[in-house]
Amino acid sequence: MTVADLRSDTVTRPTPAMRKAMAEAEVGDAVFGDDPTVNRLEAVVAERFGFEAALFVPSGTLANQLAMGVLAGPGEAVLMPEFAHIARWEGGGAAATFGVHLIQVAAPEGLPTLEGLAAHAYGPHLKAPTPRAMALENTHNWAGGRAYGAAQLGARTAWAKARGLACHLDGARIFNAAHATGEAAEVLVRGFDTLSVCFSKGLGAPVGSALLGSRALIARADRLRHRLGAGWRQAGSLAAAALYALDHHVARMCEDHSRAQRLAERIQRHAIGTVLHPVETNILQFAVHTRFESAAALVARAAERGLLFFPTGPQTARLVTHLDFDDAALAHATRVFETL
């Protein structure tokens, strides 16, 4: 059976050319600083985004969590938009691992308002957790992949800096944001002290993310990473996949966005549901049509016909396009929609 998998952009498999780059990578013990490919990736990424240093880590979750650990301490707070991945999908890690308190701020379409931030930026106060940092997410996954430009981000980072708060950007999909806004990725990340980027999502690498920041912050993050047991050894073949993706898979990402828009059009046309947010990138959230008893029922029926995606609530669902979802897969998805 033909299957199109739209559960996430993390489901991609390395292409033959990426596998070749991985197989041919020079490797060494990265804990000793001896892996030339890991070292090259960290240097390339730091330079590309305009940061002093970068740390190659296994996941976006770890990159974000290390940022929480270096920007705040026990009983201190980080402000972020409601439904931020860090708050919603990282297992309560900031609190469990570092004692850091996360405050979710009202954020229509994924971006906190200045009023919302101000309402939470109390302190110093005897009874309040001390806010130390603000974290934004671009694109914002749970807000339907909305992308924010430098002016919107800059207004928030300027607000945070004026109050002595450090700024972190969860840029798991920063290149999607760059395509959608027409602004360069390195411009979108200016004003942030730390940045996480993922190679294993729209970029199509099998594993890996990076945390970027100043040399001093990244040295502290490296210490925390080792404490958590995530120092890796001959990781050069994974770094090679990330380097390959940076060279070959950034420009093509706009195809994922246009296929997401075409999916949105078909979802409306075939009365599958109503799209909830403007489709700016590769994520599409929709309210499931009431002719289906629930989002879970729709998802199950689609899966029987070879189309995979997730419910996000009782009557909402999400589709994510990616490198392995081509025009043939779009045609298959459309045929499935016609039969539901």
Residues that bind ligand PLP (CB under 6 A): 59-61, 64, 85, 137, 141, 170, 172, 198, 200, 209
Nearest to 236 by CA among 57, 26, 19: 26
Q: Which is nearer to ligand PLP, 138 or 261 (CB)?
A: 138
159 close to 113: Cβ distance less than 8 angstroms? no
**Phi, psi dihedral angles at 296 (to 5 degrees):** -60, -40
188 close to 138: Cβ distance less than 8 angstroms? yes
6 close to 307: Cβ distance less than 8 angstroms? yes
Q: Kindly state the DSSP code that residue 140 receives in the 8-state scheme.
A: B
- Cα 234 to Cα 35, 150, 219: the distances in Å are 6, 37, 20
Q: Minimum CB separation from ligand PLP for residue 317, in Å? A: 16
Q: Which is nearer to ligand PLP, 179 or 332 (CB)?
A: 179
Nearest to 170 by CA among 192, 143, 200, 202: 192
Q: Which is nearer to ligand PLP, 58 or 99 (CB)?
A: 58
> Can you spell out the DSSP letters for 10-43?
T-----HHHHHHHHT-----GGGT--HHHHHHHH
Q: Which is nearer to ligand PLP, 200 or 334 (CB)?
A: 200
- Helix, strand and coil in the chain, % to nearest 5: 45, 20, 40
Q: Which is nearer to ligand PLP, 37 or 141 (CB)?
A: 141
Q: Which is nearer to ligand PLP, 129 or 145 (CB)?
A: 145
In angstroms, the CA 225 to CA 69 distance is 10
Number of other residues whose CB lies within 10 A of the CB of residue 83: 16
| CA atoms within 13 Å, Cβ hemisphere of 282 | 29
Q: Which is nearer to ligand PLP, 59 or 315 (CB)?
A: 59
